[in-house]
């Protein structure tokens, strides 16, 4: 046979790059290149994608389930593993009730087909309110602000990078992260192109990042103070009569917003933000004057105490400058698999509340910041069992050291994860998903955030050995175990398919209205596995779909796979506010009462501003990926290190030199890190990357252990959250520094 070439989407980050893989006879990946024929990524590849083969063949990747015997894990067969899950979940539910079982869903689940298609079935089958995910350590504020403004927490406008003439970017560093909540392969190239066509890029960040260095202008900002800056920009637009709302008849709350912003003149916020008043005014004027502009905020603006206010004000600026839903502005992607005819219920939060801290449910979830409370606090409804799916909260959650201890006390834990790591070492059963090349790929979550409408399906390149379940099978079998029925996972897919088709045929606006569900069901058979049939169904009901034959030229999974193996470009983003809006008023809520009420906290903070001497923020590295790529030798070389960056003048004052050890203390804990003085970090700010701390006993990641680093979340605080979204606060954590000479 010899080597063969195959194509697929990189599953590692949000950029959706196409890959060209070379595989040998045995199915091992021997080479990775960018797929030149992918219409979206056009051959772009980053260092992480380039090592997908190494990751795929990592000897530490689990091939079989593990079951815990005392403190150690042993290999087990799939039947034994699933039977243990069924038995132990049943035992906990019978003894303590359904809320005693919690689910934690981690980041890679947003990059898989299995996660979006099957994880909710597990939660439903359990009937638990204890759902947690990495979303409350990430983008939940954006869901909440979009939910309040547009009615749908998934209606997130993205910057129309390829057509904008002016980009104001806060708390994002796409030169390291490759972009987030804005899927754009070769994000750096797209930024350069803005400048090349005469546009302007402005970056707001407490560090002079690689992205800031590429931009026309970089504004240093004190961590956690973006809401003041954004309010002052809004203030200036009103005060100087620069607001040019284009969607006048579609917007509510303009006067309320103007009244709210009155108190935030640039002069009032200059000291707290560190941004001079004249710069704020100029920034507002330039934003208003630009013919096509977009404001974009990312993780730096979400993981702070004012996360929801920031996320809201970013889109307020897009509306006020006339740039929402317009080419070159901030636009709503139209993913091929999401039906547009479905009417959604207007967004609300707090339909139920958490037991210990009385926190509102948001998007059906509780904050990961309260997971340890719910495990540790005695009483009815206490969490006794946990299912983790592709997550490493023992490193990623705020005050992770506490959560790590809490996990050790669970009656039962099962993890769907390819590694025995800091989190899964606590699991009684570990169920490993197959290798990436054995896994189908379609970006259900991320194509809804892409800067062009785009679809690509990657079938598995290497077949699974007999009896080896796919990740979809694993999740479906957990769902069945949770429901107490056991049996054939196919029954779950059949149920979801028949429910969806029945609903679709009953909806007047759907392309299959009035048709016979049974006839449609048969048409899915040719798509392949049940997972593929479900994808086929979604595509055919979607905005570019064939409507089950209604539009013979439309999209099906088979067509996507056979006619577009390198992916299908569905064009630039299109104005579609009408399709998206589902507020009760039918308008964009520019000043939602919930957000307006939270502005009181800004006033309080402005009055009480006595900044701590040092605050901690995070950072990302191009060759890292949260906690789980540190086992790839090629990625943990060179500059990808877990150092404490601090301002060079601060370091000199403290007598700290490069390479010295510094102790970092906070309310919750303490850690020791190696100092890296630099003038890229502003005075009073220190920065540590997250996802490190691989020195725990009982893990099986040999390379990561040699590059252990320290866990920044030993000093972040689970009691500090953004109240509207429950999101964790990772940026702006007050810390003290103590030099420890080595």
Residues that bind ligand SF4 (CB under 6 A): 10, 12-13, 15-17, 45-46, 48-49, 178, 185
Q: What gap in Å lies between CA 354 and CA 455, rounded to an integer?
A: 38
Nearer to ligand MGD, 459 or 575 (CB): 459
The piece of 133-141, 155-163, 418-426, 602-610 that touches Mo ion (CB under 5 A) is: 133-141
307 binds ligand MGD (CB under 6 A): no
- Considering the complex, what minimum distance in angstroms separates the CB of residue 479 from ligand SF4? 29
- Considering the complex, what minimum distance in angstroms separates the CB of residue 388 from ligand MGD? 8
732 binds ligand MGD (CB under 6 A): yes
393 binds ligand MGD (CB under 6 A): yes
Nearer to ligand SF4, 40 or 412 (CB): 40
Q: What gap in Å lies between CA 209 and CA 203, rounded to an integer?
A: 9
Long-range contacts of 32-39 (CB under 8 A, 24+ apart): 35/7, 35/566, 35/567, 37/7, 37/566, 38/7, 38/185, 38/456, 38/566, 38/567, 39/454, 39/566, 39/567, 39/568, 39/569
- Considering the complex, what minimum distance in angstroms separates the CB of residue 46 from ligand SF4? 3
Which residue has tokens 């593929």? 532
> Smallest Cα–Cα separation from 422: which of 36, 694, 44?
694
717 binds Mo ion (CB under 5 A): no
Task: Return all residues near 368 (Cβ < 8 A) that are at least 6 apart.
Answer: 104, 132, 133, 134, 136, 137, 393, 397, 398, 728
**Residue 15, binding choice from ligand MGD, Mo ion, ligand SF4, none, Cβ under 5 to 8 Å by partner class:** ligand SF4
Tell me the per-residue interface mask from 452 to 491 with ligand MGD, x by CB under 6 A, - otherwise.
Answer: -------------------x--------------------
Q: CB of 360 within 8 A of CB of 528?
A: no
The piece of 49-57, 112-120, 131-139, 313-321 that touches Mo ion (CB under 5 A) is: 131-139
Nearer to ligand SF4, 10 or 617 (CB): 10
Query: Following CA atoms 203, 206, 212, 213 in sequence, which dihedral angle do they give, to the nearest 10 degrees?
Result: 150
691 binds ligand MGD (CB under 6 A): yes
- Considering the complex, what minimum distance in angstroms separates the CB of residue 14 from ligand SF4? 7
Nearer to ligand SF4, 528 or 633 (CB): 633
Q: CB of 258 within 8 A of CB of 591?
A: no
Nearer to ligand SF4, 17 or 688 (CB): 17
Q: What gap in Å lies between CA 382 and CA 587, rounded to an integer?
A: 41
Q: What gap in Å lies between CA 363 and CA 243, rounded to an integer?
A: 32
Nearer to ligand SF4, 190 or 222 (CB): 190
Q: CB of 718 within 8 A of CB of 398?
A: yes
Q: DSSP letter at 292?
A: S
- Considering the complex, what minimum distance in angstroms separates the CB of residue 218 from Mo ion? 23
**Residue 68, binding choice from Mo ion, ligand SF4, ligand MGD, none, Cβ under 5 to 8 Å by partner class:** none
138 binds Mo ion (CB under 5 A): yes
417 binds Mo ion (CB under 5 A): no
Total of chain residues touching ligand MGD, rule CB under 6 A: 64
- Considering the complex, what minimum distance in angstroms separates the CB of residue 49 from ligand SF4? 2
Long-range contacts of 593-601 (CB under 8 A, 24+ apart): 594/148, 594/349, 594/724, 595/145, 595/148, 595/308, 595/309, 595/312, 595/724, 596/256, 596/260, 598/306, 598/308, 598/309, 598/723, 598/724, 599/231, 599/260, 599/309, 601/305, 601/306, 601/723
For the record, the structure tokens of 472 come out as: 């979809």
Per CB under 5 A, residues contacting Mo ion are 138
Per CB under 6 A, residues contacting ligand MGD are 13, 106-108, 112, 134, 137-138, 170-174, 176-178, 180, 204-207, 209, 221, 223-224, 226, 298-301, 303-304, 389-393, 396, 416-419, 421, 433, 471, 617-622, 624-628, 690-691, 712-713, 716, 730-732
């Amino acid at each position: 046979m010899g080597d063969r070439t195959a194509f697929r989407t990189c599953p590692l980050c949000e950029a959706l790059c196409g890959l060209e893989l070379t595989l040998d006879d045995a199915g091992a990946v021997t080479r990775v290149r960018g797929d030149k024929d992918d219409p979206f990524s056009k051959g772009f590849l980053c260092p992480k994608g380039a090592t997908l083969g190494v990751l795929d063949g990592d000897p530490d990747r689990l091939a079989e389930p593990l079951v815990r015997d005392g403190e150690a894990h042993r290999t087990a067969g799939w039947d034994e593993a699933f039977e243990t899950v069924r038995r132990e979940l049943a035992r906990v539910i019978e003894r303590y009730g359904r809320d005693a079982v919690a689910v934690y869903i981690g980041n890679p689940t947003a990059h898989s087909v299995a996660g979006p298609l099957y994880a909710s079935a597990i939660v439903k089958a359990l009937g638990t309110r204890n759902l947690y995910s990495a979303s409350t350590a990430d983008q939940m504020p954006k869901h909440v602000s979009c939910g309040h403004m547009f009615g749908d927490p998934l209606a997130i406008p993205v910057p129309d990078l390829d057509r904008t003439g002016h980009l104001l970017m806060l708390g994002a560093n796409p030169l390291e992260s490759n972009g987030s909540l804005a899927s754009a392969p070769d994000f750096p190239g797209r930024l350069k192109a803005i400048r090349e066509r005469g546009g302007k890029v402005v970056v707001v960040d407490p560090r002079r990042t690689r992205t800031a260095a590429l931009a026309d202008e970089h504004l240093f900002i004190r961590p956690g103070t973006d809401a003041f800056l954004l309010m002052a920009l809004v203030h200036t637009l009103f005060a100087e009569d620069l607001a040019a709302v284009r969607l006048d008849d579609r917007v509510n709350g303009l006067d309320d917003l103007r009244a709210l912003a009155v108190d935030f003149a640039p002069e009032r916020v200059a000291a707290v933000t560190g941004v001079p008043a004249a710069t704020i005014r100029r920034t507002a004027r330039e934003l208003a004057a630009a013919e096509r502009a977009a404001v974009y905020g990312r993780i730096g603006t979400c993981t702070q105490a004012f996360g929801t206010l920031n996320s809201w004000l970013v889109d307020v600026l897009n509306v006020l400058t006339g740039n929402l839903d317009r080419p070159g502005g901030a636009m709503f992607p139209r993913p091929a698999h999401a039906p547009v005819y479905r009417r959604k219920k207007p967004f609300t939060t707090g339909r139920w509340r958490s037991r210990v801290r009385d926190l509102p449910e948001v998007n059906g979830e509780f904050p990961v910041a309260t997971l340890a409370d719910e495990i540790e606090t005695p009483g009815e409804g206490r969490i006794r069992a946990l299912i983790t799916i592709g997550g490493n909260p023992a490193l990623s959650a705020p005050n992770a050291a506490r959560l790590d201890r809490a996990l050790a006390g669970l009656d039962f834990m099962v993890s769907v994860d390819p590694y025995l790591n800091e989190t899964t070492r606590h699991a009684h059963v570990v169920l490993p998903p197959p290798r990436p090349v054995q896994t189908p790929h379609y970006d259900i979550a991320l194509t809804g955030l892409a800067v062009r409408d785009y679809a690509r399906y990657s079938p598995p390149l290497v077949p699974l050995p007999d009896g080896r379940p796919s990740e979809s099978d694993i999740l479906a079998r957990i769902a069945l175990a949770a429901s107490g029925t056991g049996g054939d996972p196919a029954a779950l897919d059949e149920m979801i398919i028949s429910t969806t088709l029945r609903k679709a045929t009953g909806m007047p606006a759907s392309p299959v209205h009035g048709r016979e569900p049974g006839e449609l069901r048969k048409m899915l058979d040719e798509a392949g596995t049940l997972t593929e049939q479900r994808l086929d169904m979604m595509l055919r009901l979607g905005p570019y779909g064939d409507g089950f034959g209604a539009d013979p030229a439309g999209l099906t999974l088979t067509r996507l796979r056979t006619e577009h193996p390198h992916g299908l470009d569905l064009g630039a983003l299109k104005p579609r506010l009408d399709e998206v809006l589902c507020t009760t008023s039918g308008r964009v809520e520019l000043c939602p009462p919930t957000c307006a009420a939270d502005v009181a906290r800004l006033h309080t903070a402005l009055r009480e501003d006595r900044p701590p001497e040092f605050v901690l923020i995070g950072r990302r590295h191009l060759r890292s990926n949260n906690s789980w790529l540190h086992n790839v030798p090629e990625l943990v070389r060179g500059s990808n290190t877990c150092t404490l960056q601090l301002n060079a003048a601060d370091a000199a004052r403290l007598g700290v030199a490069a390479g010295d050890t510094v102790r970092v203390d906070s309310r919750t804990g303490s850690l020791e890190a190696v100092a890296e003085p630099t003038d890229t970090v502003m005075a009073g700010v220190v920065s540590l990357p997250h996802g490190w701390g691989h020195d725990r006993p009982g893990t099986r990641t040999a390379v990561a252990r040699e590059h252990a680093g320290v866990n920044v979340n030993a000093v972040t605080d689970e009691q500090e959250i953004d109240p509207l979204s429950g999101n964790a606060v990772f940026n702006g954590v007050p810390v003290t520094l103590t030099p420890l000479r080595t």
